[in-house]
Amino acid sequence: MKLRKQVTVCGGAIFCVAVFSLYLMLDRVQHDPGRRQSGGNFPRSQISVLQNRIEQLEQLLEENHQIISHIKDSVMELTDTGAVSPSGHLPFRSANGSWVLPFDGRPTFLAVKPQDCQFAVGSRGQADVQMLDVYSLLKFDNPDGGVWKQGFDITYDPEEWDSEPLQVFVVPHSHNDPGWVKTFDKYFTDQTQHILNNMVVKLAEDPRRKFIWSEISFFSKWWETADIHKQEAMRKLILGGQLEIVTGGWVMTDEATAHYFAMIDQLIEGHQWLERNLGITPHSGWAVDPFGHSATMPYLLKRANLTSMLIQRIHYSIKKHFASTRSLEFMWRQAWDTGSSTDIFCHMMPFYSYDVPHTCGPDPKICCQFDFKRLPGGRINCPWKVPPKAVVEANVAERAHLLLDQYRKKSKLYRSKVLLVPLGDDFRYDKALEWDQQYVNYQKLFDYMNSHPDMHVQAQFGTLTDYFNAVSKAHGVAQGSRPTDYPVLSGDFFAYADREDHYWTGYFTSRPFYKSMDRVIESHLRGAEILYSLAVANARHAGMEGRYPVSDYALLVDARRSVGLFQHHDAIAGTAKENVVIDYGTKYLVLFNPMEQERLCVVTVLVNTVRVRVLTEDGQTLPVQLSAHSQSLLEKKKVIDFPINPCCLIKVNMVCLVATQTSFHLCSNFFFFFSLSPVCVYYYFFFNLQSIKRKDDPQEVKVQMQFIVYGTRPSKDKSGAYLFLPDGKAKPYNQKEPPVVRVVEGPLFSEVVAHYQHFQQTIRVHNVPGVDGLSVDITIMVDIRDQTNKELAMRLVTDIQSGDVFYTDLNGFQMQPRRHYLKLPLQANFYPMSSQAYIQDSHHRLTLHTAQSLGVSSLESGQLEVIMDRRLMQDDNRGLGQGLKDNKKTANRFRLLLESRSIGNKMMDSPTISFPSILSHMTNALLNHEVLALPVLPKRRGIPPLQTFAPLKSIFPCDFHLLNLRSIQTQQQDPHSPSPYTALILHRLALDCGLETQNLGFNCTTTQGQLSVSGLFKNLDLQLLQPMSLTLMHSSTPLANDSTISLDPMEISTFKLKLR
């Protein structure tokens, strides 16, 4: 109130001065004898002068009145916008010039039980093979291996199968990309529908014929267009074991750049479709085309109750090493698993590709002769210049022995006398002729082999699960169990190289615009899922189920399938044709906090006027800050700060006010720093970030932000959509003119925006309590559309002594330690980063959180660099047939978090595992699940006004993440209506408690993994609580409705709920 009093006194003083001046002027006129005339008459000239002075005085009084009125309005405006005294309710400047936000009265506490910290430091289940150790062991040389160029010569004793014949399962397949060179619909029209139509006919001709299929996106589209007779014929083939659905996801998901939310969601969508339409459950995973393999995928398959899996695209040196030790089949275990509950049996294909020349044995020249689609006269032939021969009685013996020799050599790489031989390639079997060519000729070979006992072989067509069952039976173990002496492996298989130094690390970043868009859509889909499920449940509870528009569920199903389709390994990877990428984009077709935790955060809304203030539903003014939009001075951003309860939807009002002025300033080079909340950020030299200091830490950490550029090789082999083949070390980004810099300082945030020729750099620090104010907000708007063969990267250079070790996440699910190897080329040291990467020493950890998947590395101690965009003018000879020239202006969004490590944590670093802190988990959630600002339609008659919707009774424990609350489709024929059931999918986070957690400013408590589901939802009755497999295909005994569920750290669990 002090400012109000000062203004009032000042205005009153001005008024008194004006009145007193009028009095003196009138008094002077009245008493001046020189101005008096006889008879009481004034000369006309004096009267005129007096009238002029009176008019001037009246004008002065009017101006004074306007000034006082303006001051009064200014006081009111300042009161509304918050720049008032410490006794006010909104932000104000303190005596030292810094901004202070009001205390909202919420108590904050951190109550992490010691038992919940033990998982990160406890013992682990032992693995025989750690992939980090394998990388350290291998030389990664590439000597000529003979006919198996990347391997070695294979020999065998012809008599070793005399006592136990070799079992051979030839597995026909057709890999159908849901969009790559053609769009999804074009592929379906041109090829996929013909493959499935032929399948119904050709498999039925002989019960010995088998086939496998994986992509449900294509299969469901065919099913919808097929008549009832074709559907019944297909169902008969599946139930009869001739056709197996493998993996059963909506697509064969990418494993490097996809987020685990989307990986699970597309798996659920596929599995639910199979259960609803065919009543089947997949048993085996099939992933022949993702470009490298993540450790997340085996965990998801295991929790979906699959028992075995197959992988293919792995570095040729690793394949050679595993083949030489006969370790191509192993139990894949999570590095964090304290026992063996995550083990899944995995088969690694040994050779270059999944096509026919590289699947029957080590010699592609011979194997190609048994791809009967390449018979003379066809459209494709064998590159080795020896064509296949049709099998006839005159040559069947020679042909059979030649093929058996390859089978035997390949079998020597495995530990059982059961052999898997895939028979297929991309979009194979689209012509009826090929079905006849392959099946008829191979059946002749099988009949000859099986009728000659001296060959000691049993060969047949089979499915993938036929093969895995035979392996288990041969070793006398249950399906999916560990055979005796089979190794246990932990780790992942990045980065992938198929030959020479051609590393597939470019696609980690390719087309970042779509990678960013995908994550935004995923967040919106998750929010819509949660709101829809809660809305339907509340409608049922209120007896309004018949009035609720459940037809909207069809839109939710379409959104799920569009997001699922984009997880395909040629979609989110950015390795499809330009017109195909556009096709993906067009399928994507009040304030809501989609998180399970309460949050106090800044929400940004773009407005077209400065005359706005923001009110809560009950009329209270919210703290706001107005700043110019970085793209235009005419558009403004209104920034709001307030708390929102978990999964809560609230309404705010934006009210027009009298026009006000906003300003900003441009700056030249000088040193300055922001000191907001617990974080201090220092800048100089063109405003690049220089250092960060936490207020509770006496040590300032050097963090320099640099921008660098990679070129591509001048030789024939160049970088493309898949490959990263740089022309050496990165060069500094330079431009002739210094950047235009804008500095904004205000009560809610301060930021520096630097405009460079090819990017716009925004570094912001929020002045709010809680998670939002504990990290540095970074946005780099990249536009390299005028560049040629350039890749733009951001590098952080620090004084953290990280050595050659850094950490990247796998699909946002878990952290994977990495090591920079000098023996590998530069491009081999890049890894996918879906959500975060960090470096650390005994004192600090610096984490770069990202809102989009990108490629990341640490090429020197204390450095972390991320490639933000790539523009490449040529194809890299991996089948796409074009470069990356369709770049878009793309916002790369990050959060930079500096944490101090406690003394007890300095000696706890494990070479195989690492976990984020609770603050890091919440920072990542803040970045990837922002508050959703939804416009409200104008009021219409008969529609009641929106009210605050707070459906949860309390916040979740802070180590629980609500992965999804997904309405389950009805089992009836109508796929576009919800059933009464909801899938509750929870992920319990693992915490590194060895990072300092003072003054976090948010509420956090843990419960040792215990959660009462019946106590979660407000005004809803829990009528069913049933544990399920991850994708809802397998159920356990229902629990009592008041039961407390329990999750171990890192585990994801699904429950079927009935809420009413």
* Band (889; pLDDT cuts 50, 70, 90): very high
- The burial of 240, by beta-carbon neighbours within 10 Å (0-12 exposed, 13-18 middle, 19 or more buried), is given as exposed
Which token pair is 981? Answer: 């059931």
pLDDT digit string, tens, across residues 353-401: 999 999 999 999 999 999 999 999 999 999 999 999 999 999 999 999 9
* Percent of the chain scoring above 90 in pLDDT: 63
Contact 134, 921 (CB under 8 A): no
pLDDT at 667 over 50: no
Residue 743 pLDDT:
84
- The burial of 483, by beta-carbon neighbours within 10 Å (0-12 exposed, 13-18 middle, 19 or more buried), is given as middle
Residue spans of alpha helices (H) in 542-667 = 553-566, 578-586
For residue 495, cis peptide bond before it (omega within 30 degrees of 0): yes
Q: What is the mean pLDDT of the chain?
A: 85
**Least reliable range by pLDDT among 99-108, 405-414, 612-621, 845-854:** 99-108
Which token pair is 78? Answer: 């300042």
Terminal C-alpha separation, the chain? 51
Residue 586 pLDDT:
40
Mean pLDDT across 151-169: 96
Q: So where are the chain's domains? A: 2-81, 129-247+282-500, 662-928
Within 10 angstroms of residue 487's Cβ, the number of other Cβ atoms is 16
Of the candidates 337, 383, 334, the one whose C-alpha atom is nearest the C-alpha of residue 357 is 383
pLDDT digit string, tens, across residues 1004-1019: 889 999 999 999 999 8
Active site residue 426: no
Residue 443 pLDDT:
99
Residue 713 pLDDT:
96
Residue 602 pLDDT:
81
* Band (341; pLDDT cuts 50, 70, 90): very high
pLDDT at 6 over 70: no
Buried b (16+ CB within 10 A) or exposed e, 450-480: beeeebbbebbbbbbbbbbbbbbeebeeeeb
pLDDT at 495 over 90: yes
Question: Can you tell me the distance from the alpha carbon of 741 to that of 739, in angstroms, rounded to the nearest whole number?
Answer: 6
Q: Which entry of 116, 254, 289, 355 is annotated as an active-site residue?
A: 289
Q: Among all chains, which residue has been given the structure tokens 């194979």?
A: 428
Residue 78 pLDDT:
40
pLDDT digit string, tens, across residues 13-42: 454 544 445 444 444 444 444 443 444 444
Assign residue 97 a region: left if phi > 0, alpha if psi is -120 to 50, beta otherwise? left
* Band (510; pLDDT cuts 50, 70, 90): very high
Residue 382 pLDDT:
97
**Least reliable range by pLDDT among 527-536, 583-592, 847-856:** 583-592
**Least reliable range by pLDDT among 121-125, 465-469, 655-659:** 655-659
* Band (666; pLDDT cuts 50, 70, 90): very low
pLDDT at 815 over 60: yes
pLDDT at 548 over 80: no
Residue 603 pLDDT:
80
Of the candidates 229, 222, 179, 174, the one whose C-alpha atom is nearest the C-alpha of residue 204 is 229
Residue 691 pLDDT:
83
Residue 235 pLDDT:
98
* DSSP E strands, 221-328: 243-245, 284-287, 308-311
* Band (578; pLDDT cuts 50, 70, 90): confident
Architecture label for domain 129-247+282-500? Alpha-Beta Barrel (3.20)
Question: Taking the model in full, what pTM does it have?
Answer: 0.87
Residue 679 pLDDT:
59
Residue 547 pLDDT:
74
- The burial of 125, by beta-carbon neighbours within 10 Å (0-12 exposed, 13-18 middle, 19 or more buried), is given as middle
Question: Can you tell me the distance from the alpha carbon of 554 to that of 532, in angstroms, rounded to the nearest whole number?
Answer: 12
Say which residues have a Cβ less than 8 Å from residue 774's Cβ, sequence separation at least 6. 677, 678, 679, 897, 919, 923, 1000, 1001
pLDDT at 71 over 80: no
DSSP 776-804: EEEEEEE--TT-SSEEEEEEEEE----TT
pLDDT digit string, tens, across residues 282-327: 999 999 999 999 999 999 999 999 999 999 999 999 999 999 999 9
pLDDT digit string, tens, across residues 903-934: 655 545 778 899 999 999 999 999 999 888 77
DSSP secondary structure letter of residue 502:
-
* Band (155; pLDDT cuts 50, 70, 90): very high
pLDDT at 639 over 70: no
Does the domain at residues 662-928 carry the CATH identifier 3.30.70.1450? no
pLDDT digit string, tens, across residues 935-952: 766 665 556 666 788 888
In angstroms, the Cα distances linking 998 to 531, 846, 899 are 34, 17, 11
Question: Can you tell me the distance from the alpha carbon of 434 to that of 442, in angstroms, rounded to the nearest whole number?
Answer: 12
Say which residues have a Cβ less than 8 Å from residue 318's Cβ, sequence separation at least 6. 134, 138, 493
Mean pLDDT across 434-443: 98
